[in-house]
Structure 1
């Protein structure tokens, strides 16, 4: 990142569905692969389930973020929509969660993109839209990095990044030993010097693991050493040491995996924020940013502190950034 950059993370807002579904109910509905006892042992509790489509969650979240910070939608120059699930990037007909319309023109439903719907609905008339996909759980962090880079190159006052994902009915909620929740999270970038500073961001992509089902065992074996590598690369690029990091802000995957990664990387478990795993579950690409907002709101970090944000996305991508509060 450019050390003299004036771009800052100006605001974060997220929406979690009110409906909470326990592990036993998920198992009874056939939406777990493992037993409830195993998932509970891995640190999970409730799962958040949405009754509205991802586009509606995204719209609600973006609108609240703009209103909270008093931003005129016409001043936003870029909107990046970073949905993970392919079904989340399409606008369903009506208020149902159906994936596609039916009838003679059903194929046109494949082009009902949520990015342009959001631009129109929120009055972001001057914002170019980008749909970011195929990055799994690093999607929102990647979107923030991309928006930061575009703002550096061009004279944009504001940029918005959003991730919203809703699992279709009948789809398993357990993904490689993690219980997944529906959610939406939006990040506002601006030139306000009082915001959070993105100091560095790095990713590693290993295309060999493009098939999570066929390569699941190899992927699990590679997860920890590759995670350690991306953390070390991020530390080196930032010039910071482990003791300079106030907290590691994780994505909400298995608590057991964080216990292992803590020992593997030398980062004490007490410096890894894991409090949201049980009550909120794994919100796909939104976890890091939901957790970052929560640690700020709860006073666990102060101005000047550095936090590290780590995530992994099936496909397979490892991502890590350092943010200064």
Structure 2
């Protein structure tokens, strides 16, 4: 049974700010020129619209895939940051107003399990895809709907470790007998020592590249592939400078790393791969049979890879 990602969609908020505007508003620590040197030009900022963004992305993939709601086995909703939606409610029942349950109700997924997921940092959507691929072989249903989205709190910094951050939501369908994006291999390497991101920040920055290099090479070995078999490395949209360094460590051509969305969108926590894949397809960059390597790092800490065959 071929399991793949049949449909993808993303949503961005309407408000877009340049790095100069962010600097003037005190929403980034670095000078705008420094952020531009790292490849960033603008970010998208949500104004309490995260649920609407997720809902719109889900509706688009269900409609594009012509999927009957009763043919969805599960709805997996990922949020990378700890929720800021409920603070000191008057009624403790407010803590039980689950975003995953709300999405399931509004999408009409009456027979699907709804699961909320978190605490995987930027790796969360790849973990959701892996879980979906494990669920489907034992299910009589056709698909699992995965959705992710995060919005930073108002007036919080838009810069994390020299990366400019956007709010976004993304959805995808993991399907049986998908026409494209067959899942070839998934791999995650965890290093629990780095669980305390603020305390271990400097050590994380020092270890990021050697562990990333090792993880990617181990993934290729496990998948029975060489890096030369990979048509595109689809990145998470951290700084372009970091991808230049990793490309040299891997001896991988920089022009086969899709970095076009780093200036326009920046880093969206867990939605970057969907944003990039959708735009790559729209631009005609993907051909049948292309092997794609998706890589990301997530606080917590995990280094993750997903290999697809388009």
Same-fold call, TM cutoff 0.5:
yes
Q: Which residue of 2 aligns with 1:187?
A: 172
1:148 maps to 2:144: no
**Within 2, Cα distance between the matches of 1:165 and 1:242?**
32
CA distance in 1, matches of 2:80, 2:87: 21
Of 93, 97, 100, the residue aligned with 2:86 is 100
Please give the alpha-carbon distance, in whole angstroms, between the structure 2 residues aligned to 1:193 and 1:75. Answer: 14
Deviations 1:256-297 (A, max 9, x none): 100110111111111111011000110110101211122122
Q: Deviations over 1:76-128 (max 9, x none)?
A: 1111001112227xxxxxxxxxx3376631x3322221100101111111110
Q: What secondary structure, in the 3-state scheme, does the structure 1 residue paired with 2:79 have?
A: coil
The residue number in structure 2 matching 1:307 is 292
Q: Who is 2:25 aligned against?
A: 29
Change beyond 3 A, Cα 1:103–1:161? closer
Q: TM-score, normalised by structure 1?
A: 0.92
CA distance in 1, matches of 2:83, 2:36: 28
Provide the secondary structure at the position in 1 that maps to 2:305: strand
Aligned counterpart, 1:205: 190
2:108 maps to which residue? Answer: 123
Deviation at 1:55, TM superposition (A): 1.7
Cα deviation for residue 193 of structure 1 reads 4.1
Q: Using the alignment, how far apart are the partners of 2:117 and 2:18 within structure 1? A: 31
CA distance in 1, matches of 2:60, 2:178: 22
Q: Are positions 1:57 and 2:53 aligned together? A: yes
- Displacement of 1:203: 0.5
Contact 1:101 1:109 in 2 (8 A): no
2:67 is matched with 71
With normalisation by structure 2, the TM-score equals: 0.96
Aligned residues: 310
1:37-90 Cα distance to aligned partner (Å, 9 max, x none):
1111100011101223322211111012111222122221111001112227xx
Select between 251-260 and 50-59 the one with higher mean Cα deviation. 50-59
Aligned to 1:9: 5
Distance in 1, matches of 2:166 and 2:89, equals 32
Matched, 1:260 2:245: yes
RMSD after superposition: 1.4
SS in 2 for 1:285: coil
Q: Is the 8 A contact 1:204 1:230 kept in 2?
A: yes
Structure 1 distance, partners of 2:27, 2:248, is 31
Q: Partners in 2 of 1:30 and 1:193 — Cα distance?
A: 46
Task: Give the C-alpha shift of residue 314 in structure 1.
Answer: 1.4
